[in-house]
Amino acid sequence: MHETDGVIYSMAPMEGIGTCYYRRVHRRLFPEGISRYYTPFLSVYPNLAFKKRDLREIMPREGEAPEETALRRLLVPQIMAKTAPEIVWAARKLKTLGFGEINLNLGCPSGTVVRKGGGAGMLADPARLDALFDGVFSDPDFPGDGVRLSVKTRLGLRDPEEFDEILAVFNRYPICEIILHPRVQEEYYSGKPHRDLFARTLERTDKPLAYNGDLFTPEDVSGFRRAFPGVKHLMLGRGIVANPALVREICGGPPLTLSEFRTFLREITKEYTAILDNEQQLLLKLKELWYYMGTLFAAEDGVPPERLIRNLRTAKNMGEYRNAMRALFERWPKKT
């Protein structure tokens, strides 16, 4: 894996956004600095199978270009699994496809996922979590010599102090890395991350500890690194979707230009158009990106960008969408 200034920068496993289609465009246009891409979670069914849709995230395409093959070497598949046999099966399956690490989703805050006992819902019972990892690492079929297991986690469900018991479980097993988003499930993405508890975690584990949460600008990252100089892996999600050149800027490269942004939107629109059935599905996908990308823009000449972005996000067809985008681009440059 490529490292920049001793720090690994990775893209978070953003469900519905950080798909293979998005990754292909992003890697082609903004390759600087990112050395890992985590897939949106691959659901493991109780009958030990992945969805066909999920397999597209990890399988080679027929006639894929060499740069796509190189991109798959940077992938870490994230799985959503709730039992030891599911995790062991997924590890064996992904090992046969050439992956050396899988990441277990213990952090998804979606209410639907949590109610079914997945994602952050698995943090509700540390004893059950302990039994899960015991089952995985004691299973003779777990390919420990070929696939490592990392976790992406939150602090708990309701109270940040829940993490003391959860971390004690992690510390008992040969988990290769803990990626911590220091919020609880009920906070979703509101408020500030509990960085005091992240600091406490650094003192209480000897495992590699990565950070994820509210790193939106190069200044955010430099501030974090001053506070936590020993952290060697920063995972970025919403910040990259908002500004696809973010890691390049973090590494000292030039800021995103309007020309680059237009090219990115044109290429991602092509990718989505090739797989979606109709214009309305395409609009929904593009509007989902604009929920984040709208933060690039600042008020200019007394016109708040929110009005223009609202026009874009309420467009009823691609004609209205393009007109709204054109009006917004007239107010470039982006926020500084």
What does the pLDDT look like over 241-250, one tens digit per residue? 999 999 999 9
Share of the chain above pLDDT 70, in %: 95
pLDDT, position 63 = 84
Task: List, in order, residues 6 or more apart from 197 with CB less than 8 Å away.
Answer: 155, 160, 163, 182
Identify the weakest region by mean pLDDT among 23-27, 279-283, 301-305, 313-317: 301-305
Nearest Cα to Cα of residue 110 among 157, 78, 67, 155: 157
CB 104 within 8 A of CB 79: yes
Is 180 within 8 Å of 201 (Cβ atoms)? yes
pLDDT score of 118 more than 50: yes
Say whether pLDDT at 328 is over 60.
yes
Biggest CA-to-CA distance, the chain: 66
CA–CA gap between residue 66 and residue 81 (Å, rounded): 32
Determine what percent of the chain is predicted with pLDDT higher than 90.
83
| The predicted structure's pLDDT at residue 303 | 58
CB-based contacts of 115-121 (< 8 A; 24+ apart in sequence): 117/82, 118/80, 118/82, 119/41, 119/80, 119/185, 120/153, 120/154, 120/156, 120/157, 120/184, 120/185, 121/157, 121/185
Q: How confident is residue 61, by pLDDT bands cut at 50, 70 and 90?
A: confident
Query: How many Cβ atoms are within 10 Å of 290's Cβ, its own excluded?
Result: 21
Least confident of 44-53, 147-156, 208-217: 44-53
Least confident of 7-11, 182-186, 302-306: 302-306
pLDDT above 90 for 307: no
CA distance 152 to 262: 33
Rounded average pLDDT over 36-60 = 93
Residue 177 CA to residue 10 CA, distance in Å, equals 14
pLDDT of residue 294: 87
Asked if residue 302 has pLDDT above 60, the reply is: no
In the Cβ-directed half-sphere of 58, how many Cα atoms lie within 13 Å?
Answer: 27
Task: Give me the pLDDT at residue 304, please.
Answer: 60
Model pTM score: 0.94
59-73, 222-236, 311-325: the lowest-pLDDT one: 59-73
Task: Please give the structure tokens belonging to residue 67.
Answer: 């740069």
State the average pLDDT for the chain. Answer: 92
Residue 273 has pLDDT above 50, yes or no: yes
- What pLDDT sits at residue 7? 95
The three-state secondary structure class of 153 is strand
Q: Which two tokens stand for residue 264?
A: 């990115």
Please give the structure tokens belonging to residue 159: 């109270």
